[in-house]
Amino acid sequence: MHPEATQYEELSFHESSRLALDGQKRTALVDIDETICFFPTKRRYDLAKPSHENIAKINKLYDEGWEIIYWTARGSVSKKDYYQFTWDQLESWGCKFHDLCTGTGGKHQKPAYDLVIDDKAKRIEELEGPNEKEQEEDREQGEFKFV
Protein backbone atom coordinates (compact mmCIF):
# COMPACT_ATOMS: atom_id res chain seq x y z
CA MET A 1 0.00 0.00 0.00
CA HIS A 2 1.24 3.48 -0.84
CA PRO A 3 2.31 5.38 2.31
CA GLU A 4 -0.23 8.18 1.70
CA ALA A 5 -3.10 5.76 1.02
CA THR A 6 -4.10 5.64 4.68
CA GLN A 7 -5.45 9.19 4.45
CA TYR A 8 -8.20 7.89 2.14
CA GLU A 9 -9.32 4.96 4.28
CA GLU A 10 -12.14 6.96 5.87
CA LEU A 11 -13.53 8.33 2.61
CA SER A 12 -16.79 6.93 1.39
CA PHE A 13 -16.40 6.60 -2.37
CA HIS A 14 -19.34 6.56 -4.75
CA GLU A 15 -19.64 5.28 -8.29
CA SER A 16 -19.49 8.24 -10.64
CA SER A 17 -21.13 8.37 -14.03
CA ARG A 18 -19.16 9.25 -17.12
CA LEU A 19 -21.84 11.56 -18.50
CA ALA A 20 -24.74 13.50 -17.00
CA LEU A 21 -27.53 11.24 -15.76
CA ASP A 22 -30.85 11.16 -17.58
CA GLY A 23 -32.81 14.29 -16.79
CA GLN A 24 -29.72 16.28 -15.78
CA LYS A 25 -28.45 19.13 -17.94
CA ARG A 26 -25.43 18.19 -20.01
CA THR A 27 -22.58 20.67 -20.34
CA ALA A 28 -20.41 21.23 -23.42
CA LEU A 29 -17.13 23.18 -23.30
CA VAL A 30 -16.60 24.59 -26.79
CA ASP A 31 -13.39 26.08 -28.12
CA ILE A 32 -13.69 29.10 -30.41
CA ASP A 33 -10.67 29.58 -32.68
CA GLU A 34 -10.35 26.94 -35.43
CA THR A 35 -13.63 25.44 -34.18
CA ILE A 36 -16.40 27.97 -34.84
CA CYS A 37 -14.22 30.58 -36.56
CA PHE A 38 -11.16 30.63 -38.78
CA PHE A 39 -8.50 33.09 -39.84
CA PRO A 40 -8.18 33.77 -43.59
CA THR A 41 -4.82 35.52 -43.13
CA LYS A 42 -3.27 36.64 -39.85
CA ARG A 43 -4.30 34.95 -36.62
CA ARG A 44 -5.86 38.05 -35.07
CA TYR A 45 -9.15 37.75 -33.22
CA ASP A 46 -10.64 40.82 -34.91
CA LEU A 47 -10.03 39.17 -38.32
CA ALA A 48 -11.73 35.87 -37.42
CA LYS A 49 -14.44 34.70 -39.82
CA PRO A 50 -17.32 32.70 -38.36
CA SER A 51 -18.21 29.25 -39.65
CA HIS A 52 -22.00 29.46 -39.57
CA GLU A 53 -22.18 25.73 -40.25
CA ASN A 54 -20.16 24.96 -37.11
CA ILE A 55 -22.01 27.57 -35.04
CA ALA A 56 -25.28 25.92 -36.08
CA LYS A 57 -24.00 22.61 -34.70
CA ILE A 58 -23.35 24.18 -31.31
CA ASN A 59 -26.62 26.14 -31.38
CA LYS A 60 -28.40 22.82 -32.00
CA LEU A 61 -26.94 21.46 -28.76
CA TYR A 62 -28.12 24.62 -26.97
CA ASP A 63 -31.62 24.16 -28.41
CA GLU A 64 -31.58 20.53 -27.22
CA GLY A 65 -31.03 21.75 -23.65
CA TRP A 66 -27.26 21.51 -23.30
CA GLU A 67 -25.43 24.13 -21.23
CA ILE A 68 -22.97 25.73 -23.66
CA ILE A 69 -19.80 27.29 -22.29
CA TYR A 70 -17.43 28.80 -24.81
CA TRP A 71 -13.95 28.00 -23.55
CA THR A 72 -11.02 29.80 -25.18
CA ALA A 73 -7.41 30.50 -24.27
CA ARG A 74 -7.60 34.00 -25.79
CA GLY A 75 -5.37 36.21 -23.64
CA SER A 76 -3.76 33.42 -21.63
CA VAL A 77 -0.31 34.02 -23.13
CA SER A 78 -0.47 37.77 -23.91
CA LYS A 79 -2.38 38.57 -20.67
CA LYS A 80 -4.63 40.87 -22.74
CA ASP A 81 -8.25 40.82 -21.63
CA TYR A 82 -10.30 39.69 -24.63
CA TYR A 83 -13.32 38.66 -22.55
CA GLN A 84 -15.80 41.42 -23.52
CA PHE A 85 -14.56 41.54 -27.13
CA THR A 86 -15.09 37.77 -27.42
CA TRP A 87 -18.54 37.89 -25.76
CA ASP A 88 -19.64 40.59 -28.22
CA GLN A 89 -18.12 38.67 -31.13
CA LEU A 90 -20.00 35.49 -30.22
CA GLU A 91 -23.27 37.41 -29.97
CA SER A 92 -22.66 39.12 -33.33
CA TRP A 93 -22.13 35.69 -34.94
CA GLY A 94 -25.45 34.41 -33.56
CA CYS A 95 -23.91 32.00 -31.05
CA LYS A 96 -26.26 30.69 -28.37
CA PHE A 97 -24.45 30.12 -25.09
CA HIS A 98 -24.68 30.35 -21.33
CA ASP A 99 -21.18 31.38 -20.35
CA LEU A 100 -17.74 32.30 -21.62
CA CYS A 101 -14.34 31.54 -20.13
CA THR A 102 -11.20 33.03 -21.66
CA GLY A 103 -7.55 33.02 -20.76
CA THR A 104 -8.15 36.05 -18.54
CA GLY A 105 -11.87 36.20 -17.69
CA GLY A 106 -14.93 34.23 -16.74
CA LYS A 107 -15.54 31.80 -13.89
CA HIS A 108 -12.48 29.81 -14.96
CA GLN A 109 -9.50 30.70 -17.12
CA LYS A 110 -8.51 28.35 -19.91
CA PRO A 111 -4.76 27.83 -20.17
CA ALA A 112 -2.88 27.76 -23.44
CA TYR A 113 -2.14 24.20 -24.56
CA ASP A 114 -1.12 22.21 -27.61
CA LEU A 115 -3.05 18.99 -27.16
CA VAL A 116 -6.21 17.82 -25.40
CA ILE A 117 -6.40 14.21 -24.37
CA ASP A 118 -9.80 13.42 -22.94
CA ASP A 119 -12.31 10.58 -23.07
CA LYS A 120 -15.12 13.01 -23.90
CA ALA A 121 -13.41 15.09 -26.62
CA LYS A 122 -14.98 15.49 -30.08
CA ARG A 123 -13.91 17.46 -33.09
CA ILE A 124 -16.49 19.84 -34.57
CA GLU A 125 -16.56 17.68 -37.71
CA GLU A 126 -17.98 14.81 -35.65
CA LEU A 127 -21.12 16.75 -34.67
CA GLU A 128 -24.28 16.74 -36.73
CA GLY A 129 -25.62 20.04 -37.99
CA PRO A 130 -29.24 21.19 -37.65
CA ASN A 131 -30.07 20.33 -41.26
CA GLU A 132 -28.44 20.08 -44.64
CA LYS A 133 -30.58 22.89 -46.17
CA GLU A 134 -29.17 25.54 -43.82
CA GLN A 135 -25.65 24.30 -44.48
CA GLU A 136 -26.17 24.49 -48.25
CA GLU A 137 -27.54 28.06 -47.92
CA ASP A 138 -24.38 29.07 -46.03
CA ARG A 139 -22.23 27.63 -48.82
CA GLU A 140 -24.26 29.44 -51.50
CA GLN A 141 -23.81 32.73 -49.65
CA GLY A 142 -20.04 32.23 -49.67
CA GLU A 143 -19.76 31.57 -45.97
CA PHE A 144 -16.73 29.68 -44.74
CA LYS A 145 -16.92 25.90 -44.64
CA PHE A 146 -13.92 24.21 -43.16
CA VAL A 147 -13.88 20.44 -42.81
| pLDDT tens-place string over residues 62-113 | 999 999 999 999 999 999 999 999 999 999 999 999 999 998 988 888 877 7
143 has pLDDT over 50: no
Closest CA to 102 of 119, 124, 85, 118: 85
Give the per-residue pLDDT at 90: 98
For residue 68, give the nearest of 22, 35, 112, 111 by alpha carbon.
35
Instruction: Reply yes or no on whether the pLDDT at 134 is more than 60.
Output: no
Q: Where are the domains of the chain?
A: 23-140
Provide the pLDDT for residue 93. 98
pLDDT bracket for residue 145 (50, 70, 90): very low
CATH of 23-140, one of 3.40.50.720, 3.30.365.10, 3.30.1360.200, 3.40.50.1000: 3.40.50.1000
